[in-house]
Amino acid sequence: MFNLPKIDLHRHLEGSLRLSTLSEIAYQHGVDLPTWKPEELRPYVQVVDDTPDFLGFLAKFKLLRRFYSSREAVMRVAYEAVADAAADNIYYLELRFNPVALALNQGFSFEDVTDWVIEATHQAQTDHTIQVRLIIQINRHEPQYVGQMAEIAIAKQDKGIVALDLAGDEQNYADVTPFMKAFQLARSEGLHVTIHAAEAGPPFNAKEAVEKLGAERIGHGVQIIHDLGVMDLFRRQQITLEVCPTSNLQTGIISKLKRHPLFALHQLGIPVTINTDDPSVSNITLTDEFLVATRGIGMPLHVLPHIILNAARAAFLPEPEKQRLISWFDKALAGWQIFESEHSKI
């Protein structure tokens, strides 16, 4: 499974920080924390024995905002996020990040932290066999920044920023109206749009994300399984779902892996992909997520290449680049013969 070439379309930079790096940054910069020791720090920044809870999962990120203490710290975590993806045989990564989260606590400018992430990820691509594109993410509870985020994304498209994303507390901030103007501007300037929706909220939220914000992909979107009309819309328009199984379990969005709709949605003709969401917070890799999909959810092994090609087809790339990506993965996956005996070797 590790040797399978993979794509991750839904990975948050702020959820991809190495525990050892967090400990070092905290010690070097005197970050105000209950502890600086890695193992003692773990339960504050990583899901360990937490009761599954959506808002509890999001709360981890409030503490993580304290770690972006310098230009070097931001660049280090961005570089390592890409390096860790490459080490997991991910050949194409769309890494999303929130400039507000990286900048606000320390008083950095949003433009500066964006440039630092761009510089670090460019260097990581040079050093590792991986292609990376960046997505600027905005939190639902911080609509006051959406205009600035859209302007930054538009201005830096030539440096690898390809899309805007809306994420965060869908339960208490479901209304997307405050974001419509900025997202419409972004789309008119050539940016793509992906929206976290129908994760902790109803299927209608995913439909609204498509109709009001122009979403081409939906982050998570697992709740659409409860609405035939929304599922039909996604099937007809071939709107891709960025599914993150372990995250869905840890947030309590699904109660058991056997009840996860990933495979059912695939069978219904809706393009689904498998992603990590927050690999350090969840303590997983994308290889782990593919194992979860097969062993926990029950997706047959022979379906995995189709899922990866779904991701290639949904990549936020110009059409010629996308076709090259699809062609590369098509050839690479054609040589990946899956047998039941191989499952026992994983």
- Residue 344 falls within a domain, yes or no? no
* Residue range 258-276, pLDDT digits in tens: 999 999 999 999 999 999 9
> Where does residue 236 rank: exposed (0-12), middle (13-18), buried (19+ CB within 10 A)?
exposed
CA–CA dist 182, 166 (Å, integer): 11
pTM of the predicted model, to two decimals? Answer: 0.93
**For residue 13, what is the domain's CATH number?**
3.20.20.140
Residue 268 domain-assigned (yes or no) = yes
Contact predicate 238/261, CB 8 Å: no
For the ranges 6-10, 60-64, 104-108, 243-247, which has the lowest average pLDDT?
60-64
- Residue 202 pLDDT: 96
Residue 340 lies in a domain: no
Tally of structural domains, the chain: 1
Quick check: 279 and 231 in contact, CB under 8 A? no
Measured between alpha carbons, how far is 64 from 81 in angstroms, rounded to an integer? 15
Summarize pLDDT for 188-199 with one digit per residue, the tens.
Answer: 999 999 999 999
Token code pair at residue 180: 């419509």
pLDDT at 279 over 70: yes
What confidence tier does 42 reach under pLDDT thresholds 50, 70, 90? confident
User: Do 299 and 266 form a contact (C-beta atoms < 8 A)?
Assistant: yes
Q: Domain for residue 341, yes or no?
A: no
Nearest to 213 by CA among 202, 203, 205, 221: 205
What residue type is 139 in one-letter code?
Answer: N
* Residues classed as catalytic: 199
Using CA atoms, how far residue 64 sits from 44, 233, 304, in Å, is: 9, 37, 33
Residue 343, in any domain of the structure = no
Range of the domain at 197: 6-335
Is the confidence at residue 46, as pLDDT, over 90?
Answer: no
